[in-house]
């Protein structure tokens, strides 16, 4: 039976209370949502409709399903929804004052400065810097059965991040130390025990933050002095037309957040693409034909639009497995969502992972079908927030063009060198307790293509 313990709507407002069931205090249905997000989302939608509440990770949380509700929250026309207080509950201690954790005028001020690091010329420079590192990373891959895609791609994207984002040469031990710190910081966000207990996720995340801060502060003075073509240097040098620049603390905060956002989300997207290209080899062959037709082992900036098949597969991968599975917001003043009264102080979550699987908006939503993004179909245009892997509104991902460029650059070189397959009945065990990833690392049979070294 549905109940509501949120503040009731104001008399005469015509608004409805948010329906829902509490479940167990504090825990609520957290475990069920983490283990089976798709099934739980369908059940909740059928029972309560697009707006409902329940306990999630220790908070009374309003979940809004579907693109219409997502638009109301993400566009945020009356500035009722704040990022910082919501994200801070999950990742604030570990990714303090990253761009996603700032709001309103302060967020726009930081975004204006940061945009200088993502101009067309900067993107071209990042792409040029990326190419030899991709080749070097792929050279180290050892073909065979049991090759774990997720682990190898994660290592590759971190190495690219140290080259392209940091511009700092690291030995293997130091790179592994930084990689481990990022893993601990990300996983801490979904800790059940949300205070510092040695050995548990939260404690590891706090320790990881200190490692990352020390690393960036140590290298920052050289970046201020010498500049460079990497993101670290770009943030140190970025300046708006009216002379605004980042402080040292701003640069460190943004670098820690950007590095996490870049290499984790790209890893998830590439792994998802690899899984479906293994399951559907006809799509792998089609993508490879386009890459080989370019006649060049390294993708150029002006070649990005030529990989139409990779683009379709990337968009479908982002739909099937949104790398950022949910976007939380804190309600800072009484508002409404689709006719429901949502009082100040509430936490609202837009579940991108499950929104992209709603049959109301996507025909056969669980089926891999990249053609749904082809010009003659464009199912994503059913609503402008039907497909929103990069969020929307003022907080839409500032690095989305960099992300697409990096994914295509890596996938092009992989397709030109390797083929890969999985057994016919293989279904990956997707772990959704934190950022989505395969529990088994996605083992494939990786083989080198004839004529490649």
Domains of the chain, earliest start first: 4-448 (1.10.630.10)
The residues that bridge with 448 in the sheet, in sequence order, are: 418
Residue indicated by tokens 């990689």: 179
Q: Over the stretch 370-385, which tens digit does the pLDDT of each residue have?
A: 999 999 999 999 999 9
Give the global pTM: 0.92
Q: Over the stretch 169-220, which tens digit does the pLDDT of each residue have?
A: 888 888 889 878 888 887 787 776 777 889 889 999 999 999 999 999 999 9
Q: Over the stretch 21-67, which tens digit does the pLDDT of each residue have?
A: 877 766 667 667 777 888 889 999 999 999 999 887 678 899 999 99
CA angle in degrees (0–180, nearest 5) for 40-47-63: 60
Q: Which residues contact 111 (CB under 8 A, 6 or more apart)?
A: 99, 394, 398
Q: Which residues contact 260 (CB under 8 A, 6 or more apart)?
A: 95, 98, 182, 185, 186
CB 382 within 8 A of CB 361: yes
Q: Over the stretch 336-350, which tens digit does the pLDDT of each residue have?
A: 999 999 999 999 999
Looking at the chain, how many residues does it have?
453
Check residue 440 and report its DSSP letter: T
Rounded distance between C-alpha atoms, residue 164 and residue 229, angstroms? 8
Q: What is the mean pLDDT of residues 117-122?
A: 93
In the chain, what are the helix, strand and coil shares in percent, each to the nearest 5?
Answer: 55, 10, 35
Find, among 156, 323, 125, the residue nearest to 232 by Cα: 125
- Can you read off the two tokens belonging to residue 235? 């943030």
What's the Cα-to-Cα distance from 284 to each of 74, 212, 279, 290, rounded to whole Å?
Answer: 35, 38, 9, 10
What's the Cα-to-Cα distance from 145 to each of 149, 326, 442, rounded to whole Å?
Answer: 11, 34, 11
3-class secondary structure per residue, 352-390: HHHHCCCCCCCCCCCCCCHHHHCCCCCHHHHCCCCCCCC
- Can you read off the two tokens belonging to residue 20? 């829902």
**57: how many CB neighbours lie within 10 A of its CB?**
21
Q: Over the stretch 228-268, which tens digit does the pLDDT of each residue have?
A: 888 999 999 998 888 899 999 999 999 999 887 878 899 99
């Amino acid at each position: 039976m549905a109940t509501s313990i949120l503040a009731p709507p104001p008399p005469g407002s015509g608004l409805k209370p948010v329906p829902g069931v509490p479940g167990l205090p504090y825990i609520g249905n957290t475990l069920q949502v983490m283990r089976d997000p798709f099934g739980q989302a369908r059940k909740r939608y059928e029972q309560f409709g697009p707006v409902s509440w329940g306990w999630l990770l220790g908070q009374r949380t309003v979940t809004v399903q579907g693109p219409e509700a997502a638009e109301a929250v993400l566009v945020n026309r009356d500035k009722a929804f704040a990022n910082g207080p919501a994200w801070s509950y999950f990742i604030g201690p570990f990714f303090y004052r990253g761009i996603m954790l700032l709001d309103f005028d302060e967020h726009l001020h930081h975004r204006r400065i940061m945009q200088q690091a993502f101009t067309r010329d900067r993107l071209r420079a990042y792409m040029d810097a990326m190419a030899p590192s991709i080749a070097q990373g792929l050279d180290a891959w050892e073909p065979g059965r049991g090759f774990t895609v997720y682990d190898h791609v994660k290592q590759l994207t971190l190495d690219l991040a140290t080259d392209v984002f940091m511009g700092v040469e690291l030995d293997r031990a130091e790179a592994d130390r930084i990689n481990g710190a990022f893993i601990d910081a990300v996983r801490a966000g979904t800790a059940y025990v949300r205070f510092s207990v040695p050995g548990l996720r939260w404690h590891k995340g706090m320790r990881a933050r200190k490692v990352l801060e020390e690393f960036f502060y140590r290298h920052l003075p050289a970046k201020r002095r010498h500049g460079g073509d990497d993101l670290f240097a770009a943030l140190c040098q970025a300046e708006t037309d009216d002379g605004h620049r980042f402080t040292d603390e701003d640069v460190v905060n943004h670098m820690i957040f950007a590095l996490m956002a870049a290499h984790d989300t790209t890893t998830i997207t590439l792994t998802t693409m690899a899984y479906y290209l293994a399951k559907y080899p006809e799509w792998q062959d089609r993508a490879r034909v386009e890459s080989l037709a370019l006649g060049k082992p390294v993708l150029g900036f002006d070649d990005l639009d030529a990989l139409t098949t990779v683009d379709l597969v990337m968009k479908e991968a982002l739909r099937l497995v949104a790398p950022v599975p949910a976007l939380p917001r804190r309600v800072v003043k009484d508002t409404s969502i689709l006719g429901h009264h949502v009082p100040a102080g509430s936490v609202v979550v837009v579940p991108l992972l499950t929104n992209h699987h709603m049959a109301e908006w996507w025909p056969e939503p669980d089926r891999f079908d990249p053609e749904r993004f082809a010009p003659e179909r464009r199912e994503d245009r059913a609503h402008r927030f039907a497909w929103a892997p990069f969020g929307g509104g003022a907080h839409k991902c500032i690095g989305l063009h960099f992300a697409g460029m990096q994914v295509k650059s890596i996938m092009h070189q992989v397709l030109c060198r390797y083929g890969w397959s999985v057994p016919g009945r293989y279904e990956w065990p997707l772990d959704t307790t934190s950022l989505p990833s395969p529990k088994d690392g996605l083992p494939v049979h990786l083989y080198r293509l004839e004529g490649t070294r």
